[in-house]
Amino acid sequence: MSKDWRRRIRIATRTLHIGGAAVVLGAATFDGNPGLWGAVLLFSGAIIVGFDLLKYGWAWFRLFMGWSVLLKLALTAVGLAWDPAMLPTIWLSLIVGCVVSHASWRLRHLPFWGEPLGR
């Protein structure tokens, strides 16, 4: 697959992921049912992680960005599984995602152990 197609798929997947997060957060805020959007959120997130694993390999699991994604996954899973926790866990997941995605490259790629990645 060409880099151009990978880029298009990543953008589409991220858009779907943000849309899923918006619906799940809206459902939690207004005491609604997110329906299949919880699954869309988790599935699109898994695709994004898959792209990161292709790019960084197993090193992704030792990077700050990898651990932040695992934290968001855990928070979202708790929120979807336990209704009273949905609103605070989805908000916390959104906050973690926004802060980390807008952090510097150096922080996102900071390893918890081992050598730092080169650009």
- The answer to whether residue 119 scores a pLDDT higher than 70 is no
- The answer to whether residue 118 scores a pLDDT higher than 80 is no
Report pLDDT digits (tens) over 64-74: 999 999 999 89
Report pLDDT digits (tens) over 101-114: 999 999 999 999 98
Work out the average pLDDT over 54-59. Answer: 93
Domain ranges of the chain: 3-108
- The answer to whether residue 19 scores a pLDDT higher than 70 is yes
Task: Give the 3-state DSSP-derived string for the chain, with helices as H, strands as E and coil as C.
Answer: CCHHHHHHHHHHHHHHHHHHHHHHHHHHHCCCCCCCHHHHHHHHHHHHHHHHHHHHHHHHHHEHHHHHHHHHHHHHHHHHHCHHHHHHHHHHHHHHHHHHHCCCHHHHCCECCCCCCCC
Q: Which pLDDT does position 80 carry in this prediction?
A: 79
Report pLDDT digits (tens) over 75-85: 988 987 888 99
Quick one: pLDDT band at residue 42, thresholds 50, 70, 90?
Answer: confident
